[in-house]
Amino acid sequence: MCGIIGYTPTRTDHHSNRDILNVLMDGLSDLEYRGYDSAGVAIANASVSVYKRNGELSELEEMVPNGPIDGYAGIGHTRWSTHGPPSDENAHPHTDCDGSVAVVHNGIIENYRVLRDELEAAGHEFDSETDTEVIPHLIETSLEQGADIETAFRRAIDRLNGSFAVAAVFSGSEAVYATRNQSPLVLGIGDDGYHLASDVPAFLEYTDQVVYLQDDQFAKLSPAGVEISDKRGTVVDMPVKTVEWDPEEAGKSGYDHYMLKEINEQPRAIRNCIRGRTDEMAGTVSIDELDGIDRPKRIHLVSCGTSYHASLYAARLFRAGGIPATAFYASEYDAGAVPIDGDTLVIGVTQSGETADTLGALRDANRRGAETLAVTNVVGSSASRETDHVMYIRAGPEISVAATKTFASQQVALAMLSSTLTDECSREFVEGLRALPDQIQSILDQSRATEIADVYANSDAYFVIGRGYSAPVALEGALKMKEITYKHAEGFPGGELKHGPLALVTERTPVIAIVTGESNAEEMIGNMKEVEAREAPVIAVTDSPDVVENYADHILRIPQTAWQFTPILANVQLQLLAYWTANQLGRSIDKPRNLAKSVTVK
């Protein structure tokens, strides 16, 4: 959630801020997927020019100047409201009393109320309800006391409690100053300038050379280069890494929505996930980066949202292989209340590697002596740096807020991880893995989800049921439906239908039943009959159409495969059904209301 962008050109001569402004606006556009309700930019020259507006980025585009104005450096921000509702006043950047300092900020400043009271008592005037606004006023106080810019910036940051990423520009200065604590910031090293952002796609069109800033590190971006230092001011050398994502991967490539593009990218994403990790002839899976992990006594999986559903699926696989495993909501994980020691492997499943609740759970596990592993998509993310081991899912950039290809890649990665830790691998398993991309492509080519969505788009609610390994996918299918259609949707194990949810079933509540070879088909058919008796339409997602055709109004077919992978195939049909339903309803599919792609606050 929230997006920061910053830029300073390498040129030291005067130049039009239209160049800087274009870079900032392009970056904000590339960060729209993170979720936001207002946007703004600040350009530093002899003074600081600030433009910010409540609403979509298009609203901001209407107010920024068209003519050339000299500028040295700039910052921008897309805000997702926490302190104070969406408004022009609460939009970032925020300034000090005389407008010579502009600041953008992600995260939560926990002690802002105390700081604000102190500053107001000293005569500072505030224009917003945000926690962020205390930062420029703290900087202003130090500048008035004679500190130089960098010292004033550091002193202000030292007063803050909480999680944050902060960037600032100053009148008359060519530099952007930035720091982070438990909120992501990445630097981009380009030929024509230096960038900073919350995420790589914000500047990927300009450079693929990046530095991942770590907690309590400070960065100064100026025409002379990038200087990184620690909390004490000591300059540190940080490795420059090459991002292997193609800039075109972050575009729509002709699709109407990123979500549809990313659903269709799943065959390639899974090929990338398994590449170099399987030997079909030997029937083995080998994950080189995890060679140092021994079979643990127990496994805890910590995650949120879609990643939690992938964790539920994985926990079943680990238990089937003889390792006790439990999936926890990361926000509810209390390592002090469950058995945890050096024989416990705590796996954090997080697409971004920056999810605040998941990072908190992993840090708690580290403190208690557990071995930790991150299963993530982002190289250099906080989760990848702070755990003992990391396994990358290799899905490539995912822009749509609703996760699709990363969920499939998480399932595949976790299935491979399970096979290695439990020694439950087989030739059938590896063959199933290798067949997945082509099988998913066949679903994409032949799915009837579009026509079914047309029939049921105006339903009152949707229920998704499954058993065994398909139960977590039922939860995920319902989550996708509610995220992007804004319709009520519930997912639960088929056996729970009669323990409450059946009271809500009517002829206007379609029931989507996942009936696959690993499910108990007889029991699932029983559930289908229960809802059919209440006149609810039934949509079956199945690899056995002959078994269910007499009990379903519609069938969405999936190929037969190894039992571990039928949930992955079933999920593709559920993704398509949710997408086409939302499309029929005219929803904002890539940026659903009130939601953010990367949730970096607790």
- CB neighbours (10 Å) of residue 434? 14
Residue 35 is predicted with a pLDDT of 65
CA distance 369 to 487: 43
Burial of 32-64, coded b for 16+ CB within 10 Å and e otherwise, reads: bbbbbbbbbbbbbbeebbbbbbbbebeebeeeb
Our answer to whether residue 261 is catalytic in this structure is no
Residue 1 is predicted with a pLDDT of 56
The mean per-residue pLDDT over the stretch 254-276 comes to 93
The mean per-residue pLDDT over the stretch 160-172 comes to 93
Work out the end-to-end distance of the chain between its first and last CA atoms, rounded to an integer number of angstroms. Answer: 11
**Where in the chain are the domains?**
3-243, 250-444, 447-590
- pLDDT of residue 15 exceeding 60, the answer is no
Residue 498 is predicted with a pLDDT of 84
Query: CATH for 250-444?
Result: 3.40.50.10490
Residue 189 is predicted with a pLDDT of 95
- pLDDT of residue 464 exceeding 70, the answer is yes
Least reliable range by pLDDT among 67-76, 296-305, 324-333, 494-503: 67-76
Q: What percentage of the chain has pLDDT greater than the value 90?
A: 64
Pairing mode of beta strands 48-54, 38-44: antiparallel
Query: What are the angstrom distances between the C-alpha of 48 and each of 331, 460, 506?
Result: 40, 51, 60
For 179-204, give the secondary structure using H, E and C.
EEECCCCEEEECCCEEEEECCHHHCC
The verdict on whether omega for the bond into residue 223 sits within 30 degrees of 0, i.e. cis, is no
The whole-angstrom distance between residue 514's C-alpha and the CA centroid of its chain comes to: 27
- pLDDT of residue 83 exceeding 80, the answer is no
Q: Which pLDDT tens digit goes with each residue over 374-388?
A: 999 988 888 998 999
Q: Which pLDDT tens digit goes with each residue over 538-555?
A: 999 999 998 898 899 999
CA distance 180 to 414: 30
Our answer to whether residue 597 is catalytic in this structure is yes
Least reliable range by pLDDT among 6-20, 299-313, 318-332, 382-396: 6-20
Domain 3-243 class?
alpha beta
- pLDDT of residue 514 exceeding 90, the answer is yes
Least reliable range by pLDDT among 35-49, 226-240, 551-565: 35-49
- pLDDT of residue 200 exceeding 60, the answer is yes
Q: Which tops the pLDDT comparison, 480 or 25?
A: 480
The single residue listed with the structure tokens 């759970």 is 361
Residue 517 is predicted with a pLDDT of 72
Residue 414 CB partners (closer than 8 Å, separation 6+):
310, 311, 313, 314, 317, 349, 375
Q: At what angle do helices 405-422 and 566-585 cross, to 10 degrees?
A: 170
Asked if 3-243 and 447-590 have one fold, the answer is no
The mean per-residue pLDDT over the stretch 295-301 comes to 96
CA distance 337 to 273: 35
Q: Which pLDDT tens digit goes with each residue over 523-537?
A: 888 888 888 888 899
Q: Band the pLDDT of 596: cuts 50, 70, 90.
A: low
Q: What percentage of the chain has pLDDT greater than the value 70?
A: 94
The mean per-residue pLDDT over the stretch 564-576 comes to 96
Residue 68 is predicted with a pLDDT of 58
Residue 101 is predicted with a pLDDT of 97
- pLDDT of residue 600 exceeding 70, the answer is no
Q: Which CATH number is correct for 447-590, 3.10.20.30, 3.40.980.10, 3.40.50.2300, 3.40.50.10490?
A: 3.40.50.10490
CA distance 556 to 560: 13
Q: Which pLDDT tens digit goes with each residue over 105-126?
A: 988 899 999 999 999 999 999 9
Residue 467 is predicted with a pLDDT of 92
Of 52, 220, 487, 597, which residue is the catalytic one? 597
Of 2, 273, 304, 425, which residue is the catalytic one? 2
Q: Which pLDDT tens digit goes with each residue over 323-337?
A: 999 999 999 998 778
Residue 599 is predicted with a pLDDT of 63
- CB neighbours (10 Å) of residue 535? 11
Q: Which pLDDT tens digit goes with each residue over 469-499?
A: 999 999 999 999 999 999 999 999 988 888 9
